[in-house]
């Protein structure tokens, strides 16, 4: 039996720091640029992009966030366990067998077919409840939603007439590929809404923009925006320059566990991808791909130690990897290593890493694994430590 008290203790030399003041700051920046009547749904799917859904929700609720949004029902239930009142919308498809669990827990569901709406209404009637839904339209992303057209207008009218359904919202999602295509999507969305309004039905919450949509197209704000990356302070480079100052909330750190000198011709790690061209000084660090430090960064990534960059050498292992310290002679065992985020002397942006492995910023953040403790900061103090393995 484990007898330690783990509260507020970080049990590992690899961790992320999450600055809750940054979350609050970014949320306030969004509030500043949005019209008064536009609500904000914070998108907390994938454990709030790795930041910890519960802790992020707590800060946002304190700051009067309007709604929370997640991808699937289990994510909604995790939040509902901690927060009884806040509206929580599931943006993904919920299979029929789970609908009653959603309704009984007051979760707002996304619906995009007559069949599912009818099942939901019947079921809610049996439970003596009203199911709250948002209808999703597929205006061009070709992922989820009802395809617009005269038939879809009829379907929406019929859904609105069901007895035990409250159609609180209607929404779509932009592809954000070109300005022209986004404008076409917005027009298709608004044309559908106009048709519905012309038939005498008003759906209160219309929404289409995510973080980049909100910044690029103020006229698309409507009744609500759904913000993920913006809240976490990680967005497309240059997009918000001069307009908004965002602060990335997450910093990923580890420590040096060993330093050794090797001779010319020796290799480092599995597979002889790095063979020392001369004698060099190598450091082992306590992070690997299963922590969310992608194997694809092998031979490409750089970490920051004492304000200097050290390249990753050899292939990244599951739990560890090696860096070249030849040019940082002052580096010592137990030195802090910045993997990404804001450092004391130097920053490494999530976008920089994303570019190196040809992925996007959201993947880099959301794959930080459950083995990595989350250290929460406010006023530059540690206020909470969450270790999913020990809590």
The residues annotated with a catalytic role in the active site are 45, 270
145 forms part of the interface with ligand PLP (CB under 6 A) = no
228 forms part of the interface with ligand PLP (CB under 6 A) = yes
How is the chain split among helix, strand and coil, in percent rounded to 5?
35, 25, 40
26 forms part of the interface with ligand PLP (CB under 6 A) = no
CB 212 to ligand PLP: min, Å = 6
Question: Residue 318, exposed/middle/buried by CB under 10 A (0-12, 13-18, 19+)?
Answer: exposed
From the list 91, 146, 276, 325, which residue makes contact with ligand PLP (rule: CB under 6 A)?
Answer: 91
89 forms part of the interface with ligand PLP (CB under 6 A) = no
Q: Which helix (H) or strand (E) holds 74?
A: helix 73-82
43 forms part of the interface with ligand PLP (CB under 6 A) = yes
CB 230 to ligand PLP: min, Å = 6
Single out the residue of 291, 297, 306, 283 nearest to residue 352, CA to CA: 297
From the list 14, 211, 254, 326, which residue makes contact with ligand PLP (rule: CB under 6 A)?
Answer: 211
Instruction: Read off φ and ψ for residue 327, nearest 5 degrees.
Output: -95, 10
224 forms part of the interface with ligand PLP (CB under 6 A) = no
When CB distances to ligand PLP are compared, the closest residue is 228
Buried b (16+ CB within 10 A) or exposed e, 29-51: bbeebbeeebbbbbbbbbbbbbb
Instruction: Read off φ and ψ for residue 153, nearest 5 degrees.
Output: -60, -45
* C-beta of 45 vs 206, nearer to ligand PLP: 45
> Residue 169: beta bridge partners?
134, 205
Do 383 and 377 form a contact (C-beta atoms < 8 A)? yes
> Residue 302: beta bridge partners?
311
From the list 39, 80, 173, 374, which residue makes contact with ligand PLP (rule: CB under 6 A)?
Answer: 173
Q: With contacts defined by CB under 6 A, name the span among 31-39, 221-229, 255-263, 295-303 that binds ligand PLP.
A: 221-229
> Distance (Å, rounded) from C-alpha 137 to C-alpha 111?
9
From the list 24, 138, 195, 210, which residue makes contact with ligand PLP (rule: CB under 6 A)?
Answer: 210
227 forms part of the interface with ligand PLP (CB under 6 A) = yes
CB 137 to ligand PLP: min, Å = 12
Residues near ligand PLP, by CB under 6 A: 43, 45, 91, 173, 210-212, 226-230
């Amino acid at each position: 039996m484990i007898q330690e008290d783990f509260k507020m203790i970080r049990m590992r030399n690899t961790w992320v720091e999450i600055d809750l003041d940054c979350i609050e700051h970014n949320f306030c920046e969004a509030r500043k640029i949005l019209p008064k009547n536009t609500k904000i749904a914070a998108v907390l799917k994938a454990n709030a992009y790795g930041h910890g859904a519960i802790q992020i929700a707590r800060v946002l609720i304190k700051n009067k966030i309007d709604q929370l949004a997640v991808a699937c029902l289990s994510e909604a239930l995790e939040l509902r366990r901690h927060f009884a009142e806040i509206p929580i919308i599931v943006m993904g498809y919920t299979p029929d067998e789970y609908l009653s669990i959603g309704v009984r827990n007051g979760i707002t569901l996304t619906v995009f077919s007559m069949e599912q709406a009818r099942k939901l209404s019947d079921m809610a009637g049996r439970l003596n409840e009203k199911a709250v839904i948002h209808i999703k339209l597929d205006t061009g992303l070709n992922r989820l939603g009802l395809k617009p057209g005269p038939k879809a207008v009829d379907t929406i009218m019929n859904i609105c007439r069901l007895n035990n359904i409250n159609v609180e919202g209607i929404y779509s999602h932009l592809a954000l590929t070109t300005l022209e295509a986004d404008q076409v999507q917005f027009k298709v969305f608004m044309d559908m809404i106009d048709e519905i309004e012309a038939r005498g039905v008003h759906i209160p919450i219309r929404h289409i923009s995510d973080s980049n949509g909100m910044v690029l197209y103020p006229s698309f704000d409507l009744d609500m925006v759904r913000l993920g990356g913006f809240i976490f302070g990680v967005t497309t480079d240059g997009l918000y320059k001069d307009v908004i100052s965002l602060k990335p909330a997450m910093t990923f750190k580890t420590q040096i566990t060993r330093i050794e000198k090797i001779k010319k011709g020796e290799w480092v790690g599995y597979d002889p991808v790095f063979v020392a061209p001369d004698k060099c000084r190598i450091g082992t660090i306590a992070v690997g791909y299963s922590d969310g430090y992608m194997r694809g960064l092998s031979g490409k990534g750089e970490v920051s130690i004492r304000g200097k960059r050290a390249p990753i050498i050899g292939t990244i292992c599951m739990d560890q990897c090696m860096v070249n310290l030849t040019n940082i002679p002052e580096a010592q065992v137990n030195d802090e290593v910045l993997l990404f985020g804001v450092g004391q002397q130097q920053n490494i942006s999530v976008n920089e890493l994303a570019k190196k492995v040809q992925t996007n910023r959201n993947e880099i953040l959301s794959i930080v694994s459950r083995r990595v403790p989350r250290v929460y900061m406010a006023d530059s103090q540690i206020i909470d430590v969450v270790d999913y393995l020990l809590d």
